[in-house]
């Protein structure tokens, strides 16, 4: 950046020098020449009058005083008040000294000896006949004599200005780059720490500019990585915990049978079969959770009635609710709920939600399931009676392995993956799921899906 600023400064000076030279030659010199041409036009009537009075130009040949009186009239020879009060700009810039008088054949009579084909000319016409010419040597030709000296002086000044400007640009660039360099070095060091696994690294954003916004994005990325690492560690701890319990039971029961403490009977194998089923359910849930989170779970979508899907799941679980001494209340539906989705995954969704209500509701309680239209969407509400869940824990219910009970009792809590799978299935269908407190004293789960239009 430092070198780039110096190069930009040098290029700007070069362009400025070239442009200044072109503008001087085409602009300022052209302006001076234009002033001289205007003065020539102003002199034409006076020169015609002098020719008519003398009949030729012999009266002025070699007579410099007469010539200067003709092109710069004195008080007695003119009534032009502007010329009497102050000489025109053309005279002040030396245009008079560049004038010359030519005869009808273009031969110089008097005036500047450098007049040639490049000179500006105006014809002196008397009675329709060209009797002579007034000519003016261009201003740039006059400068040509001292051009080398002028150019050298300008080059010296230009080099002095360029060196001073580059030095000033260098100092300014250094002052500007020092804080930028510190911020970039800080960002680089933080990135190095982050890549080394230190996800607690943060950067002070500083100013609200590009680097400040980059630092904010870095902090958000570091926070996400820190959260992901924490979730990974918790996931590994939860997996270890979930696998350790049934494996410990299996090992204890098998050792008891091997040591002869317990006989090999169908009754002694029954607990082992229960733990194996629990392990199988856990593995299946982990597989489904991984597929739903990665988006690799296959969905076969088609139009269906959400109420009919829910009704089919309810019919298959009514016997379990009766066995658990729970009242299952399902109000009659008034209208269909057409949605687009995967019937098998929606069945899995409702089965998990009803399983959750069945497992967490005390005996003698009730579970209410209702499907309806609400706010232009298909809504399914499943709420149960006591026990309830603290309002502060509602959002965490959809986290994997989370249970509301601190004891994490496997007999009632399951694997803690069901609601997490439910959330992923709902999101894959473009819906949303919420947990609320139920008026029955337990938990109220609300699921919403977009209706087919």
Q: What's the CA gap between 18 and 10, in Å, rounded?
A: 12
| Residue where a domain stops, chosen among 97, 125, 144 | 144
Looking at residue 407, what is its pLDDT? 34
Domain membership flag for residue 153: no
Selection from 370, 396, 398, 383 nearest residue 437 by Cα: 383
Same-domain check for residues 260 and 308: no
- Residues 365, 312: one domain? yes
**Structural domain includes residue 122:** yes
Instruction: Classify 259 as helix, strand or coil.
Output: coil
In a domain, 367, yes or no: yes
**248 in the same domain as 387:** no
- Do 303 and 284 fall within a single domain? no
2-23 and 147-195 helices, crossing angle to 10°: 160
Does residue 374 lie in a domain region?
A: yes
pLDDT of residue 84: 46
Q: In which domain, by residue range, is 218 found?
A: 210-293
Is residue 257 located within the same domain as residue 316?
A: no
Count Cβ atoms below 10 Å from residue 437 Cβ, excluding itself. Answer: 15
* Same domain as 112, residue 87: yes
Is the CB of residue 113 less than 8 Å from the CB of residue 119? Answer: no
- The pLDDT assigned to 160 comes to 84
Q: Within a domain: residue 167?
A: no
343 falls within a domain: yes
Task: Report the CATH number that the domain containing residue 253 is assigned in CATH.
Answer: 1.10.287.130
**Could you tell me the CATH number of the domain that includes residue 392?**
3.30.565.10
Same domain, 282 and 327: no
Cα–Cα distance for residue pair 263/155, rounded to 1 Å: 112
Asked, for residue 175, whether it belongs to a domain, the answer is: no
DSSP 86-142: S--HHHHTTTGGGEEEEETTS-EEEE-TT--TTSEEEEEEETTEEEEEEEE--HHHH
Are residues 446 and 302 part of one domain? yes
Same domain, 259 and 331: no
Instruction: Give the chain's domain count.
Output: 3
- 309 in Cβ contact with 429 (< 8 Å): no
Mode of pairing for the β-strands spanning 377-385 and 441-450: antiparallel
Note whether 41 and 71 are within 8 A (CB). no
Among the three residues 240, 268, 293, which one is the final residue of a domain in this structure?
Answer: 293
Blockwise average pLDDT, block size 10, the chain, 453 residues: 76 77 69 80 88 89 86 53 53 73 89 86 90 86 63 74 81 82 85 85 82 85 83 71 73 81 79 74 68 62 89 88 88 84 87 87 89 89 87 75 47 61 85 88 90 80
The residue among 121, 158, 154 whose CA lies nearest residue 136 is: 121
117 and 224 both lie in a single domain: no
Q: Of 269, 293, 317, which marks where a domain is finished?
A: 293
Asked whether residue 382 falls in the same domain as residue 283, the answer is: no
Residue 173 in domain: no
Is the same domain home to 244 and 288?
yes
* Other C-beta atoms lying within 10 Å of the C-beta of residue 449: 21
Q: Which residues touch 322 (CB under 8 Å, ≥6 apart)?
A: 328
- pLDDT recorded at residue 92: 57
């Amino acid at each position: 950046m430092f070198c780039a600023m110096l190069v930009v400064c040098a290029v700007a000076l070069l362009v400025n020098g070239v442009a200044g030279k072109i503008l001087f030659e085409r602009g300022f010199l052209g302006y001076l020449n234009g002033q001289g041409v205007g003065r020539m036009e102003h002199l034409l009537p006076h020169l015609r009058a002098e020719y008519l009075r003398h009949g030729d130009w012999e009266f002025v040949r070699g007579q410099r005083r007469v010539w200067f009186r003709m092109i710069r009239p004195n008080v007695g020879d003119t009534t032009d008040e502007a010329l009497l009060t102050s000489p025109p700009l053309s005279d002040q810039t030396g245009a008079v000294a560049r004038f010359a008088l030519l005869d009808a054949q273009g031969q110089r009579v008097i005036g500047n000896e450098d007049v040639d084909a490049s000179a500006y000319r105006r014809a002196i016409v008397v009675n329709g006949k060209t009797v002579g010419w007034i000519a003016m040597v261009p201003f740039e030709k006059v400068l040509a004599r001292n051009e080398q000296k002028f150019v050298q002086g300008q080059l010296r000044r230009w080099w002095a200005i360029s060196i001073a400007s580059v030095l000033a640009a260098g100092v300014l660039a250094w002052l500007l780059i020092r804080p930028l360099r510190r911020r970039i070095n800080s960002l680089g060091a933080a990135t190095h720490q982050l890549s080394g696994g230190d996800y607690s690294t943060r950067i002070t954003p500083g100013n609200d500019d590009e680097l400040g916004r980059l630092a904010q994005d870095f902090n958000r990325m570091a926070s996400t990585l820190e959260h992901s690492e924490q979730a990974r560690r918790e996931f590994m701890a939860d997996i270890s915990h979930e696998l350790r319990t049934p494996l410990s039971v299996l090992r204890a029961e098998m050792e008891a049978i091997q040591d002869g403490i317990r006989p090999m009977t169908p009754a002694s194998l029954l607990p082992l079969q229960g733990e194996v089923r629990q392990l199988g359910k856990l593995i299946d849930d982990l597989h489904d959770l991984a597929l739903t989170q990665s988006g690799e779970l296959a969905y076969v979508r088609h139009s269906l009635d959400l109420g009919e899907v829910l009704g089919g799941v309810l019919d298959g679980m009514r016997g379990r609710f009766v066995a658990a001494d729970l009242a299952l209340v399902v109000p009659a539906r008034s209208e269909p709920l057409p949605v687009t989705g995967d019937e098998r995954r929606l069945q899995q969704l409702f089965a998990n939600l009803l399983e959750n209500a069945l497992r967490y509701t005390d005996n003698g309680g009730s579970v209410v399931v209702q499907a309806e239209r609400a706010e232009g969407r298909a809504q399914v509400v499943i709420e149960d009676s006591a026990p309830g869940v603290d309002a502060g824990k509602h959002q965490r219910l959809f986290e994997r392995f989370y249970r509301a009970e601190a004891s994490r009792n496997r007999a009632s809590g399951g694997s803690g993956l069901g609601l997490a799978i439910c959330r992923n299935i709902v999101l894959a269908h473009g819906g949303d799921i919420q947990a609320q407190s139920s008026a029955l004293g337990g938990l109220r789960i609300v699921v919403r899906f977009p209706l087919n239009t």
